[in-house]
Amino acid sequence: MVRWEPGTPERLQAAALELFATRGYEQTTAAEIAQSVGLTERTFFRHFADKREVLFHGQQLFVAGFLEGARATPGDAAPLEVVRAALGSAAGFFGDERRPHSRRRQTVIDANPALQERELHKMVGLADALRDLLRERGVAEPAATLAARVGTLVFEVSFATWIAEGEERSIDTIQAVVFAELVALVQ
Amino acid sequence: MVRWEPGTPERLQAAALELFATRGYEQTTAAEIAQSVGLTERTFFRHFADKREVLFHGQQLFVAGFLEGARATPGDAAPLEVVRAALGSAAGFFGDERRPHSRRRQTVIDANPALQERELHKMVGLADALRDLLRERGVAEPAATLAARVGTLVFEVSFATWIAEGEERSIDTIQAVVFAELVALVQ
């Protein structure tokens, strides 16, 4: 009988990050990750398709939050207001208590081209979803694509700033600064 | 003795596009591409590392052109002026006579995830190079990254518009429209 184990994905994720960071991503197997927290390889594969996916756990929640913020705006909101709302909503996933985890995760990703690839696709998928949402609201092209891509650009730059060594500002504050920089730049 | 054959890469590229479009990318080998224009597989591999690379021939010229346009601006030009110059210079590579080729190439790329991957990396590399150039000129972050990414965003959206079925405007004209849309959106 398969028992429901609350928090198992999170435990596996924390263990994986620890091993990836100390031993290296390539040198760590799914079995070793599972064993380090007293679980079996089989349990690992019940939660994740492969060891790469363990780093992207929670991604659907982030994407859902981003799009939920966008959807919560009035139907006639300007495209950039929709984007701002999406960013504000996504910021909820990056509280200060999460910063050490995000930093460690990024170090692992930066060291591995296959993981960078996956991360890149994540952002492309996010921009496409936001673009589709804007199109459904009647925003014409190229405005829908431009607004969506501006949104993921501001997020990417803000996130990279947020996890930089020594950075203490909240992601909300950083996003506001980056957005203002973009506006100043384009004017 | 290896003979210098002018235009061989271009002939191989045209042959490859023809075969990729009619027979499918996966179903076409380097040997078949070479044979279809009376060349050997060995000749093919003298010019390209693999059949994927045949689609990216000329890429260095495009990147060089893009960056050359950026470098030709005065050292104290505003970041967005540098970006505009890069786009203007890159447009030189996409004359109207090239549009059918670019359309056919895009069809092949859209049908193949590995090629989309390669294309995505090309744009990331281009944005990074432009960002580095802006940093060297003393542009601070996040402005350098934002300006560079705005540049590749405008290029990507403009290029996709330029190769759309029935589109007849020049890429220069389209880039001006897309840039204006972005400015209007962000203000």
Min distance B145 CA to chain A CA atoms (Å): 8
Structure confidence at residue B61 (pLDDT): 82
Chain B residues interacting with chain A (CB cutoff of 8 angstroms): 79-80, 117, 120, 124, 142-143, 145-147, 149-150, 153, 157, 161, 177-178, 181-183, 185-187
CA distances from B172 to A179, B148, B150, B175 (A): 27, 18, 16, 5
Structure confidence at residue B1 (pLDDT): 45
**Which chain B residues contact residue A187 at CB under 8 A?**
183, 186-187
Min distance A84 CA to chain B CA atoms (Å): 11
- Distance of alpha carbon A77 from alpha carbon B127, whole angstroms: 31
Out of 1.10.10.60, 2.60.120.10, 1.10.10.10, 1.20.1250.20, the CATH code matching A8-54 is 1.10.10.60
CB spacing of A157 vs B143 below 8 angstroms: no
Residue A2 confidence (pLDDT) above 80: no
Residue A56: pLDDT band (50, 70, 90) is confident
Rounded to the nearest 10°, the torsion over CA A156, A158, A163, A169 is -170
**Which chain A residues contact residue B157 at CB under 8 A?**
142, 145-146, 149
**Which chain A residues contact residue B161 at CB under 8 A?**
142
Structure confidence at residue A6 (pLDDT): 54
For chain B (187 residues), the mean pLDDT of every run of 10, in chain order, is: 64 91 92 95 93 85 91 95 95 90 91 87 92 96 96 96 96 96 92
Phi then psi dihedrals of residue B27, to 5 deg: -85, 0
Mean pLDDT of the A51-68 span? 87
Structure confidence at residue A1 (pLDDT): 45
Question: Do B58-186 and B8-54 have the same topology in CATH?
Answer: no
A105 Cβ neighbours under 8 A, 6+ residues apart: A17, A55
**In chain A, domain spans:** 8-54, 58-186
A155 and A87 Cβ atoms separated by less than 8 Å? yes
Structure confidence at residue B118 (pLDDT): 85
Residue A133 confidence (pLDDT) above 90: yes
**Which chain A residues contact residue B177 at CB under 8 A?**
142
Q: Which of A80, A124, A185 sits opposite B80 (nearest CB)?
A: A185
Phi then psi dihedrals of residue A18, to 5 deg: -60, -50
CA distances from A76 to A104, B72, B186 (A): 40, 43, 17
How would you classify residue A41: left for phi > 0, otherwise alpha for psi between -120 and 50, otherwise beta? alpha
pLDDT tens column, A149-160: 999 999 999 999
Residue A122 confidence (pLDDT) above 70: yes
CB spacing of A142 vs B124 below 8 angstroms: no
Structure confidence at residue B87 (pLDDT): 95
Chain A residue at shortest CA distance from B151: A186
Chain A residues interacting with chain B (CB cutoff of 8 angstroms): 79-80, 117, 120, 124, 142-143, 145-147, 149-150, 153, 157, 161, 178, 181-183, 185-187
User: What value does the CA radius of gyration of chain B take, rounded to a whole number of Å?
Assistant: 18
**Which chain B residues contact residue A178 at CB under 8 A?**
142, 146
- CATH 1.10.357.10 is right for the domain spanning A58-186: yes
A131 Cβ neighbours under 8 A, 6+ residues apart: A144, A145, A147, A148, A149
